[in-house]
């Protein structure tokens, strides 16, 4: 499900655009949090890089929810810039640069180039996450022409099942948390998701 809100102003965003709160890009330091989307707009992607690991989160919608949703964390060396993220239904080969994350996303037999932009404003982009036992509820937010776009999923295993997550209220600007709802087959659930602070 595509969700938009009316922003005050949106800076230009890259055409091909996996996310972090409390940390954006800096003109003198390499970015550690990136967010974007596939060319068809069906899958939102966020990626976070720490000193000893990296996280990749992709979230599909509707027909791509089950085939294009994954959360993967992998170890990495401090200076390592190339990382392979592999999940049951997709794979991302990513190269981190100072001002972007360039990657090849493979879903089934189809591969495409994607470019993720660094998060420059916590008010317009980020990832919101709650982990409870084996279950994870995560939402990606990024700026778009129609407003802040949000897309998320709830799941308790790498292979699903996946349940689409939506915000309870319209979102005009992002804060430190996000109230969302989803139906996991047992009725409507509401959760407050804190902003993911990275690795």
Per-residue pLDDT tens for 56-103?
999 999 999 999 999 999 999 988 999 999 999 899 999 998 889 999
Encoding tokens for residue 178? 């996000």
Q: What is the pLDDT of residues 171-199, one digit of tens each?
A: 999 999 999 999 999 999 999 999 999 88
Q: What is the pLDDT of residues 2-52, one digit of tens each?
A: 444 433 322 333 323 333 333 333 334 678 999 999 999 999 999 999 999
User: The pTM is what?
Assistant: 0.83
- Tell me the pLDDT band of 1, cut-offs 50, 70 and 90: very low
Cα 80–chain centre separation: 21
Question: Using CA of residue 163, residue 180, residue 125, residue 8, what is the dihedral sign?
Answer: positive
- Calpha distance 31→34 (Å, rounded): 8
Q: What is the DSSP letter of 113?
A: E
- Tell me the pLDDT band of 151, cut-offs 50, 70 and 90: very high
């Amino acid at each position: 499900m595509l969700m938009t809100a009316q922003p005050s102003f949106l800076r230009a965003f890259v055409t091909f655009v996996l996310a972090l709160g409390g940390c954006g890009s800096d003109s003198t330091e390499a970015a550690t949090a990136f967010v974007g989307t596939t060319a068809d707009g069906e899958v939102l992607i966020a990626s976070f890089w720490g000193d000893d690991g990296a996280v990749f989160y992709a979230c599909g919608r509707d027909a791509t929810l089950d085939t294009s949703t994954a959360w993967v964390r992998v170890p990495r060396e401090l200076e390592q810039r190339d990382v392979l993220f592999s999940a049951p239904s997709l794979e991302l080969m990513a190269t981190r640069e100072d001002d972007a994350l360039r990657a090849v996303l493979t879903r089934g037999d189809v591969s495409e180039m994607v470019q993720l932009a660094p998060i420059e404003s916590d008010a317009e982009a980020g990832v919101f996450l709650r982990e409870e036992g084996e279950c994870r509820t995560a939402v990606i937010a990024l700026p778009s022409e129609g407003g802040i776009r949000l897309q998320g999923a709830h799941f308790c295993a790498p292979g699903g099942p996946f349940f689409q997550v939506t915000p309870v209220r319209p979102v005009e600007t992002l804060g430190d948390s996000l109230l969302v709802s989803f139906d996991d087959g047992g009725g409507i659930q509401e959760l407050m998701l804190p902003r993911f602070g990275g690795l």
